[in-house]
Amino acid sequence: MRLSDETLLDIMARFQAEMQKGLGKDTNPTASVKMLPTFVRAIPDGSENGEFLSLDLGGSKFRVLKVQVSEEGKRNVQMESQFYPTPNEIIRGNGTELFEYVADCLADFMRTKELMQKKLPLGLTFSFPCKQTKLEEGVLLSWTKKFKARGVQGTDVVSSLTNAMRKHKQDLDVDILALVNDTVGTMMTCAYDDPYCEVGVIIGTGTNACYMEDMSNIELVEGDEGRMCINTEWGAFGDDGALEDIRTEFDRELDLGSLNPGKQLFEKMISGLYLGELVRLILLKMAKAGLLFGGEKSSALHIKGKIETRHVAAMEKYKEGLANTREILTDLGLEASEADCVAVQHVCTVVSFRSANLCAAALAAILTRLRENKKLVRLRTTVGMDGTLYKIHPQYPKRLHKVVRKLVPNCDVRFLLSESGSTKGAAMVTAVASRVQAQRKQIDKVLALFRLTREQLVGVRDKMRVELEYGLKRDTHPLATVKMLPTYVCGMPDGTEKGKFLALDLGGTNFRVLLVKIRSGRRSVRMYNKIFAIPLEIMQGTGEEVNAGQGVPRSEVPACHPIQCRPGMTAALSLQLFDHIVQCIADFLDYMGLKGAQLPLGFTFSFPCRQASIDKGTLIEWTKGFKATDCEGEDVVDMLREAIKRRNEFDLDIVAVVNDTVGTMMTCGYEDRNCEVGLIAGTGSNMCYMEEMRNIELVEGDEGKMCINTEWGGFGDNGCLDDIRTQYDKEVDEGSLNPGKQSDRLALLQVRRILQQLGLDSTCEDSIVVKEVCGAVSRRAAELYGAGLAAIVEKRREDQGFEHLKITVGVDGTLYKLHPHFSRILQETVKELAPRCDVTFMLSEDGSGKGAALITAVAKRLQQARRENVKREQKLRSIQPQDEEALIAREPCRKLFMLKFSYSSVRHPQLQVPLSPGSAGGSLPLPSYLDG
Ligand code: 0WK
Ligand code: 0WK
Ligand code: BGC
């Protein structure tokens, strides 16, 4: 029974291995040390308060308590308690009767304390191994110590007690909010006074320990954030034979005579229920061997359990130990000589010393794990202690502390005895549980606002459909919130595009200037780009800042060109934005060694623009973070052209202005011909798609298709979504740059605002709540996107009279790209709401800049084709050169431009053969409307 330091270090290492095994998802089922998650994620932080009931079952005494935690924030706890007996017929009888007995005691306590009318939360300290899936639930794995009630193992003890309490429903209105092990209760009790306390140890009738483990190491529970208390159930250490080498014949004999042979083998070498019995078995053997009491063996010495731990403790008392020993042996009917008494004392010491040593070895393993988890060289921590053996045995605490400090010299360990048992701790856990429960209710109430039913999503889809039609129709368009803006892009690239193009990409997270080289035939596109910052003061400038330094009020300074601006002079700020853009182009051309290059440019401008042609776009209103003054209502291409002229350093042919959705659709359309929809889920949100010209009443012509920039960001600005808009949406809108506009803006701002509302400052639980809130908000965002997109693809299917539609959606934007679940939820929602559409989502790898360049390339080529046409026309009619430009600009030409976009879709009216590139210049006569 004497264990050397080496052996103790070895046992310490074995226990560390057992802990690892218990924490592992795959190894836990065969582990003897079960490492049970307790769902207690934090120690008390002093904010706990309220009145609670607490039951303490499983130790040597059964108690019912009322606990009042900290009035007015003062950290104090008032407790009133009542002990109740635990007769064997109850604890070894029928399980239902056991819980009815507990409920009876609780009802008796409530009556005694006149608490019947009160609805109180209850914390149940249940000191047996329970597998928990949440704080208020626990399935008993096996009885230990003196308990062996039938029909309880494998059942949830919380619902068993709740059912038993129903019998007293007129007296008892109690909610069991927490089930905790006594070690956990002990740790929480001590942690209330010492925040360093993160370990709880019971050395009483039974023995066990718990500690705060990192969630990332607990494979049995989802989540990696923060910590959770693990109930080790170290009593079962060795049940798999891991300690056979140190177990003695007395341990085996004791185990065979116990209520649960083969189980709790470590506990049976340590705890108070067994220590006295071990001493008895040893004394009996020594007496049989004639080594004691002259070989005399009293009947009492043969009686199991006759020597109890209190006897052992008494016999080891410093001074009165020997007298106590004599008295106890006499009580056992033994004639003991002085030597016998000393020998008996020695046996007690050996047995209790081994107990303390074994406890110390396992505890040292836990402390080492804590130190390693925290990656500390030296750990300072507190261990909360309780249990009769530890409390009454005169030498035990000292021996335990000494051996622990010897085994883990790099830990500063404070041992804190729990004065009020584990129930105060259980009340703390219940207090946290009721706080979390109250918050949970609040959180659920708030998050429920973000949970959309299928009916609601169908409603959104159908409302979007109505708005789409609204926007397309000439009469209703002016009032439409979904603007359905014609883009003058009438087809997808067909691979014949080629050349070098500049592209600007403004309006997303990054402002980019790109050089795009397109090779026809092999469909290869090479891009070089540079990201430039747009300073906030330019993005949202009002022109005041220009004068800020000079203190001259804006209204008194005459307008002038910014380049010529000198201090004290202001300028139309819009110019600043565009001058900044031109500055970036200049830097880019410089960087690319293209100074003075004359390149066609495609301008991705990701804001709602009313277009009159591919190279004309009037900004309707700023969205997202932009608010530069004097731009809304202006043609952005003109403003850019003027800025280039002002700089007078290079000349660019701005051929096309496109929305980022259109650029994205083009970029993807270059790879996938089915791509007829462009979706942006980024800083902003928008969608475009190819619409039948016959449905676009704002633009002449019924032939072919044209891309419509829906600007669906405005969906709901007319209040049609108010039934699903939450107060948080309204608050974000009021706080936005464009209140009342773009109401379905789906940024995560709501998350921070909700947290402030919930008054949560960041703790581990908070981060879990944060995650949940983010999940709810982004799920709703993805579902709303899905509903909107379902409306579009369904419309496309119906418009083409297809039973089933196969279509590709080109997507871009940080929200879609970065959010872990967004794209999946979006796709699932579209599938759900547009079941007759087979939608492929194609992520735009290259951004919309490439698409803008492709559109520019096509526009450029058609411009070229148109020029050649006119020249041929001239030759045919030998018309004067000076009339050439007039001919080009004349209306029919514009028609020429729109219709001829993708050769594949336009047929020669008479010959019904596609007009192939350059065919315009070919020998085939042009259609009548061309020779208008
Ligand atoms: C007092 C605690 C109780 C725990 C007991 C263990 O309040 O929860 O079970 O200590 O010690 P025992 O009474 O078994 O010696
Ligand atoms: C990348 C595109 C750009 C678009 C952006 C949207 O090239 O045109 O505006 O995606 O995503 P965001 O950057 O706003 O997340
Ligand atoms: C039980 C533990 C309990 C310990 C101390 C053991 O028998 O399995 O759950 O913590 O006794 O009471």
> How far is the centre of ligand 3, averaged over its atoms, from the C-alpha of 259 (Å)?
15
CB of 81 within 6 A of ligand 1: the answer is: no
Q: Identify which has the larger pLDDT, 75 or 274.
A: 274
Residue in 60, 145, 189 to alter for ligand 3 test, most ligand atoms within 8 A of Cβ: 145
DSSP 206-227: SEEEEEEEEGGG-TTSS--SSE
Of the residues 239, 494, 505, 660, only one is catalytic, namely: 660
- Give the per-residue pLDDT at 446: 87
* Coarse DSSP helix, strand, coil percentages of the chain, rounded to the nearest 5 percent: 45, 20, 35
Look at residue 125 and tell me whether its pLDDT is greater than 90: yes
Q: Which residues pair with 229 in a beta bridge?
A: 212
Domain match, 427 and 523 both: no
Specify whether 512 is catalytic.
yes
> How far is the centre of ligand 3, averaged over its atoms, from the C-alpha of 207 (Å)?
5
CATH of the domain at 423: 3.30.420.40
The size of the chain, in residues, is 932
Residue 326 pLDDT grade (very low, low, confident, very high; cuts 50, 70, 90): very high
For 735, the token pair is 């706080």
Residues with CB under 6 A from ligand 2: 505, 507-509, 604, 606, 660, 663, 680, 682-684, 812-814, 847-849
**Non-local CB neighbours of 476 within 8 Å, separated by 6+ positions:** 469, 470
- Give the per-residue pLDDT at 743: 53
- Give the per-residue pLDDT at 886: 55
Q: Please say which residue of 624, 658, 692 terminates a domain.
A: 658
Whether 554 is in a domain gets the answer: no
Residue in 711, 814, 819, 855 to alter for ligand 2 test, most ligand atoms within 8 A of Cβ: 814
pLDDT tens string 884-908 = 555 555 544 444 444 444 444 444 4
Of the residues 14, 354, 512, 779, only one is catalytic, namely: 512
Cα three-residue angle 715-719-724, rounded to 5 degrees: 85
> How far is the centre of ligand 3, averaged over its atoms, from the C-alpha of 87 (Å)?
19
Domain match, 166 and 24 both: yes
DSSP 337-371: -HHHHHHHHHHHHHHHHHHHHHHHHHHHHHHHHHH
Determine which of 198-212, 256-270, 419-433 has the lowest per-residue pLDDT on average: 419-433
Q: Please say which residue of 844, 879, 901 terminates a domain.
A: 844
- Give the per-residue pLDDT at 911: 41
Whether 565 is in a domain gets the answer: no
Look at residue 547 and tell me whether its pLDDT is greater than 60: no
- Angle (deg, nearest 10), helices 396-407 and 338-373: 40
Mean pLDDT across 665-680: 93
Domain match, 740 and 801 both: yes
Domain match, 169 and 205 both: yes
pLDDT tens string 687-723 = 999 999 999 999 999 999 999 999 999 999 999 999 9
Residue nearest to atom 8 of ligand 3 (CA): 128
The neighbour count for residue 243, using CB atoms within 10 Å, is 19
Whether 580 is in a domain gets the answer: yes
CA distance to 658, 851, 853, per residue, from 604 (Å):
5, 9, 9
CB of 420 within 6 A of ligand 1: the answer is: no
Half-sphere exposure of 515 (CA within 13 A, CB side): 17
Q: Which residues pair with 531 in a beta bridge?
A: 512
Domain match, 754 and 768 both: yes
Whether 608 is in a domain gets the answer: yes
CA distance 927 to 895: 12
Residue nearest to atom 15 of ligand 2 (CA): 682
Which atom of ligand 2 is closest in space to residue 813's alpha carbon?
A: 11
> How far is the centre of ligand 3, averaged over its atoms, from the C-alpha of 434 (Å)?
25
Look at residue 409 and tell me whether its pLDDT is greater than 80: yes
Look at residue 30 and tell me whether its pLDDT is greater than 60: yes
H/E stretch holding 780: helix 764-799
Domain match, 57 and 70 both: yes
Domain match, 649 and 667 both: no
Whether 535 is in a domain gets the answer: yes
Q: Domain range holding 315?
A: 243-359
Q: Identify which has the larger pLDDT, 686 or 596.
A: 686
> How far is the centre of ligand 2, averaged over its atoms, from the C-alpha of 711 (Å)?
15
Q: Identify which has the larger pLDDT, 45 or 813.
A: 813
Which atom of ligand 1 is closest in space to residue 202's alpha carbon?
A: 6
Q: Please say which residue of 824, 844, 864 terminates a domain.
A: 844
Short-list 715, 714, 705, 751, CA closest to 732: 751
Domain match, 654 and 669 both: no
Mean pLDDT across 816-840: 95
Look at residue 144 and tell me whether its pLDDT is greater than 50: yes
Highest averaged pLDDT of the listed ranges 286-300, 739-753, 851-865: 286-300
Domain match, 833 and 772 both: yes
Whether 870 is in a domain gets the answer: no
CA distance 328 to 317: 13
Q: Identify which has the larger pLDDT, 77 or 457.
A: 457
CA distance 747 to 904: 40
Residue nearest to atom 5 of ligand 2 (CA): 508
CATH of the domain at 272: 3.40.367.20
Which atom of ligand 3 is closest in space to residue 126's alpha carbon?
A: 9
Which atom of ligand 1 is closest in space to residue 61's alpha carbon?
A: 13
Which atom of ligand 3 is closest in space to residue 129's alpha carbon?
A: 9
CB of 182 within 6 A of ligand 1: the answer is: yes
Over the chain, what is the mean pLDDT?
A: 87
- Give the per-residue pLDDT at 434: 85
Domain match, 294 and 261 both: yes
Phi (first) and psi of residue 855, to 5 degrees: -65, -40
Residue 918 pLDDT grade (very low, low, confident, very high; cuts 50, 70, 90): very low
Instruction: Check: CB of residue 494 under 8 Å from CB of residue 594.
Output: no
Whether 849 is in a domain gets the answer: no
Specify whether 371 is catalytic.
no
By CB atoms closer than 10 A (0-12, 13-18, 19+), residue 244 is: exposed
pLDDT tens string 468-482 = 999 999 999 988 999
Mean pLDDT across 484-490: 94
The neighbour count for residue 291, using CB atoms within 10 Å, is 13
Residue nearest to atom 11 of ligand 1 (CA): 387
Look at residue 518 and tell me whether its pLDDT is greater than 90: no
- Give the per-residue pLDDT at 508: 83
- Give the per-residue pLDDT at 744: 45
Note the ligand closest to the C-alpha atom of 60: 1
Look at residue 466 and tell me whether its pLDDT is greater than 90: yes
Residue 625 pLDDT grade (very low, low, confident, very high; cuts 50, 70, 90): confident
Whether 515 is in a domain gets the answer: yes
- Give the per-residue pLDDT at 654: 93
Domain match, 32 and 162 both: yes
CA distance 313 to 309: 6
Helices (H), 599-745: 636-647, 660-669, 727-735
Which atom of ligand 2 is closest in space to residue 505's alpha carbon?
A: 8
Of the residues 606, 685, 848, 902, only one is catalytic, namely: 606
Instruction: Check: CB of residue 505 under 8 Å from CB of residue 512.
Output: yes
Mean pLDDT across 302-310: 94
| Calculated CA dihedral for residues 19, 30, 142, 358, nearest 10 degrees | -40
Residue nearest to atom 4 of ligand 1 (CA): 59
Look at residue 598 and tell me whether its pLDDT is greater than 80: yes
Domain match, 502 and 386 both: no
Specify whether 660 is catalytic.
yes
Note the ligand closest to the C-alpha atom of 816: 2
Determine which of 86-95, 253-262, 443-452 has the lowest per-residue pLDDT on average: 443-452
Short-list 58, 168, 179, 62, CA closest to 108: 168
Look at residue 166 and tell me whether its pLDDT is greater than 50: yes
CA distance 309 to 334: 18
Q: Identify which has the larger pLDDT, 847 or 29.
A: 29
Look at residue 930 and tell me whether its pLDDT is greater than 50: no
- Give the per-residue pLDDT at 896: 43
Domain count, the chain: 4
